[in-house]
């Protein structure tokens, strides 16, 4: 930078012909971005660290997927990418949880029971609890996203759901995963579709 400055100064001609009163350069200069200097400079103060969807387009795709899955669960027509269709009772249970309505608390407790039946190691139960807590109301939150905002709550809830679900899978034994309840297959299908952008 110093070299460049030196070279430029050396190359710079003496002042150009000052033929008049320098009226072109004695106001606010419009010869550089100085006219908007607060825009292209370092940002200070008021910064926050937030989790958000990587791009606005991904947020929109997520919102659309949330709406589609919510409608399919509501009509018990949700099918995973592998073609698995959970029984209507399972889809109804999951709909109650992810729609976050008044029945979601009882549905969440029921989902936790289903996930931990035959898989009751402390780590699996703890992960399942964290998952159900994060999963509750997930689609409702996604549908309500406002594209002009970062929607950190929704992005974080999705990240929490996936992280807790994967921790639950990692804490589950082979016997459980060989023949899991349909809720596991359906949850996997829902999360896979929500994260496929």
Partner 1 sequence: MAYLRHLDPGFWRRRFATAVGVLLAVGCAGRADAQTARAALGDSARLDSLRRFYRVPPPDVQQITVAKFLGAPGSTIGSPSASGAGVGDYFFGVGFQERTRYTDRPDGGFGAGAGLGDPESGVALETTVTSFSSVRHAFLSIGGFSFKVHHRDIPHMMLYAVGIENALTWGHTDGGTSVYGTVGHVVPLRSGDDAAFGVLSTSVGVGTGRFRSEADIRNHRHTVGVFGGLGLRIVAAVSATADWTGQDLDAGFTFTPFAGRGIVGTMGVADLTRHAGNGPRFIMSVGFGFNARRDNRRLSPEDLSAVFRTP
In the range 41-80, which residues lie near partner 1 by CB under 8 A? 41-56, 58, 62
CA 135 – CA 108 distance, rounded (Å): 9
CA 38 – CA 36 distance, rounded (Å): 6
| Stretch 84-123 residues interacting with partner 1 (CB under 8 A) | none
Closest contact distance (angstroms) between CB of 72 and partner 1 is 18
Binding residues for partner 1, how many (CB under 8 A)? 91
Q: Which is closer to partner 1, CB of 24 or CB of 113?
A: 24
Please enumerate in sequence order all residues whose Cβ is within 8 A of that of 82, keeping only pairs 6 or more positions apart, or say none: 189
| Cα pseudo-dihedral 72, 74, 76, 78, rounded to 10 | 30
Closest contact distance (angstroms) between CB of 64 and partner 1 is 14
DSSP letters, 80-117, are -TTS----HHHHHHHHHHHTT-TTHHHHHHHHHHHHHT
Closest contact distance (angstroms) between CB of 41 and partner 1 is 4
Closest contact distance (angstroms) between CB of 142 and partner 1 is 11
CA 196 – CA 61 distance, rounded (Å): 9
| Stretch 137-176 residues interacting with partner 1 (CB under 8 A) | 146-153, 155-160, 162-167, 169-170, 172-174
**Contact pick of 66, 127, 136, 181 for partner 1 (by CB under 8 A):** 127
In angstroms, the Cα distances linking 3 to 6, 10, 15, 32, 55 are 5, 10, 21, 21, 39
Q: Which is closer to partner 1, CB of 4 or CB of 102?
A: 4
Return the residue matching tokens 């409702």. 140
Determine if 26 is a binding residue for partner 1 (CB under 8 A).
yes
Give the chain's length.
Answer: 197
**Contact pick of 35, 89, 109, 120 for partner 1 (by CB under 8 A):** 35
Q: Which is closer to partner 1, CB of 55 or CB of 75?
A: 55
Q: Which is closer to partner 1, CB of 27 or CB of 83?
A: 27
Closest contact distance (angstroms) between CB of 102 and partner 1 is 21
Closest contact distance (angstroms) between CB of 122 and partner 1 is 13
């Amino acid at each position: 930078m110093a070299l460049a400055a030196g070279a430029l100064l050396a190359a710079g001609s003496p002042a150009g012909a000052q033929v008049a009163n320098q009226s072109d350069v004695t106001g606010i200069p419009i010869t550089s971005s100085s006219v908007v200097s607060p825009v292209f400079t370092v940002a200070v103060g008021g910064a926050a660290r937030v989790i958000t969807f990587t791009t606005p387009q991904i947020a929109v795709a997520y919102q659309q997927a949330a709406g589609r899955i919510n409608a399919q669960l509501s009509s018990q027509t949700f099918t995973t990418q592998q073609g698995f269709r959970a029984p209507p009772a399972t889809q109804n249970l999951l709909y109650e949880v992810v729609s976050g309505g008044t029945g979601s608390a009882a549905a969440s407790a029921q989902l936790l029971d289903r996930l931990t039946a035959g898989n009751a190691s402390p780590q699996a139960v703890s992960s399942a609890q964290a998952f159900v807590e994060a999963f509750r109301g997930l689609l409702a939150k996604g549908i309500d996203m406002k594209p002009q905002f970062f929607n950190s709550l929704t992005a974080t809830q999705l990240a929490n759901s996936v992280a807790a679900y994967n921790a639950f899978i990692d804490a589950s034994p082979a016997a459980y995963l060989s023949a899991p309840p349909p809720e596991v297959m359906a949850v996997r299908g829902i999360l896979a579709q929500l994260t496929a952008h």
